[in-house]
């Protein structure tokens, strides 16, 4: 089946006993043994509830992976992978541009647990090559990288990292399975903040890991999730399944509008960062590595530093000023002020998450606010 079919039908996840085309939300935390006291398929729901398991099957199919695990958030998924895989003495490479909360957590985690850590521009292959060590256990990649949208060559980084036996994890939150297939390019693990496009409606916090192989590393991650319990609840898993059914329609529409806005704003002299623009320094790589468009995220630089950026946001009537991304409603955010003193984000940058509104309304609102 093509991914659009997998997503729309959620892999035919119907309720077998009744034939209901929408799967039930299983709220039970425990499962009765049979009359002979033998356990059934399931014994306890912490990490074995049929509703999250249904979402995991869809996630694995969409990413072309061997298996998937859901988590209570994207950060829960990210930290579970890193903690399960890294031990004292190991070395980790993380990206210079990427989700800032993970960067802060990694610094604290690595310092506390004796894990060496280098922050590297992963879009620069020579820099990745120089940073790799025989002890490198994990290379974290985010592409397109939030909020300035650099592109990392997943296949090339995977080849370099595998040369020293390191695991490559790709945060594919902004690319989504619609635009990218990191596992086919050589990634070992894919991470999603499913809070964003996969859920798609700004109403569920969720995270996911998808693995290329059900190997020993994957078993470590599953064990950590089993033991520590950062699992997705059944109601959240239901919302995630529901959101994924419209993933392709939503993301393709957001991407088309993002491309339109990027082109229209550029034509009006606005500085735009978007991998779909030929002026993006890595447009050719993005075109090779991504498919069906370049995603619904872009950033503009308005000049005049943070005061001007705040001023533009305050004038908007259609765009909502809020953090997060990937929902049906368009959001705008001044990342420099939210990322704190160590931010690398330019003060005049505004990040745009393009939703499903009419593209003319979105453009007019921005043009009015900018003028």
196 is catalytic: yes
Nearer to ligand PLP, 132 or 209 (CB): 209
Token pair listed for 275: 């991998």
Which residue of this chain has its Cβ atom nearest to ligand PLP in the complex?
Answer: 74
Nearer to ligand PLP, 197 or 218 (CB): 197
At residue 166, φ and ψ (nearest 5 deg) are -85, 155
Nearer to ligand PLP, 171 or 365 (CB): 171
**Nearest-approach distance from CB 191 to ligand PLP, in angstroms:** 7
Rounded CA-CA distance 118/143 in Å is 18
Altogether, the residues listed in the chain come to a count of 371
Peptide bond into 147 cis (omega under 30): yes
What lies within 8 Å, CB to CB, of 288 at 6+ separation is: none
**Nearest-approach distance from CB 73 to ligand PLP, in angstroms:** 3
Nearer to ligand PLP, 51 or 353 (CB): 353
DSSP string, 112-150: HHT-EEEEE-TT-HHHHHHH--TTEEEEEEESSBTTTTB
171 is catalytic: yes
99 is catalytic: yes
| Annotated catalytic residue within 171, 188, 348, 365 | 171
| Annotated catalytic residue within 47, 90, 118, 196 | 196
Question: Could you list the residues that contact ligand PLP (CB under 6 A)?
Answer: 73-75, 99, 142, 146, 171, 173-174, 193, 195, 205, 207, 324
**Nearest-approach distance from CB 146 to ligand PLP, in angstroms:** 5
Nearer to ligand PLP, 43 or 323 (CB): 323
| Annotated catalytic residue within 47, 90, 99, 242 | 99
DSSP string, 212-237: SS--HHHHHHHHHHHHH--PPPHHHH
**Beta-bridge mates of residue 321:** 332
| Annotated catalytic residue within 42, 46, 83, 96 | 46
**Nearest-approach distance from CB 263 to ligand PLP, in angstroms:** 24
**Nearest-approach distance from CB 165 to ligand PLP, in angstroms:** 25
What are the catalytic residues?
46, 99, 171, 196
């Amino acid at each position: 089946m093509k991914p659009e079919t997998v997503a729309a039908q959620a892999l035919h996840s119907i309720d077998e006993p009744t034939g209901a085309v929408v799967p039930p939300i299983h709220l039970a935390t425990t499962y009765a043994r049979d009359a002979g006291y033998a356990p059934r398929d399931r014994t306890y729901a912490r990490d074995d509830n049929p509703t999250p398991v249904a979402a995991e099957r869809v996630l694995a199919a969409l990413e072309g992976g061997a298996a998937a695990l859901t988590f209570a958030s994207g950060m829960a998924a990210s930290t579970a992978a890193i903690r399960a895989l890294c031990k004292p003495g190991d070395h980790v490479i993380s990206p210079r541009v990427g989700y800032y909360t993970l960067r802060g957590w990694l610094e604290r985690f690595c310092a506390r647990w004796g894990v060496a850590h280098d922050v590297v521009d992963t879009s620069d292959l020579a820099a990745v090559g120089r940073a790799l060590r025989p002890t490198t256990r994990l290379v974290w990649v985010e592409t397109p990288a939030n909020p300035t949208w650099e592109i990392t060559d997943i296949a090339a980084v995977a080849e370099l990292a595998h040369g020293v036996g390191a695991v490559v994890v790709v945060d594919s939150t902004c690319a989504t399975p619609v635009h990218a297939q990191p596992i086919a390019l050589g990634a070992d693990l894919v991470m999603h903040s499913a809070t964003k496009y996969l859920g798609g409606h700004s109403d569920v916090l969720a995270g996911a890991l998808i693995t290329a192989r059900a190997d020993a590393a994957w078993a470590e991650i599953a064990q950590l999730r089993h033991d520590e319990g950062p699992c997705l609840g059944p109601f959240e898993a239901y919302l995630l399944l529901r959101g994924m059914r419209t993933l392709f329609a939503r993301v393709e529409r957001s991407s088309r509008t993002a491309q339109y806005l990027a082109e229209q704003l550029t034509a009006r002299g606005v500085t735009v960062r978007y991998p779909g623009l030929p002026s993006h320094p890595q447009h050719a790589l993005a075109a090779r590595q991504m498919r069906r468009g370049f995603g619904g995220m872009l950033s503009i630089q308005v000049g005049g530093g943070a005061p001007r950026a705040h001023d533009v946001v305050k004038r908007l009537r259609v765009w909502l000023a809020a953090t997060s991304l990937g929902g049906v409603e368009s959001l705008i955010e001044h990342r420099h002020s939210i990322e704190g003193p160590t931010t690398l984000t330019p003060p005049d940058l505004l990040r745009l998450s393009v939703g499903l509104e009419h593209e003319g309304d979105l453009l007019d609102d921005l043009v009015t606010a900018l003028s």
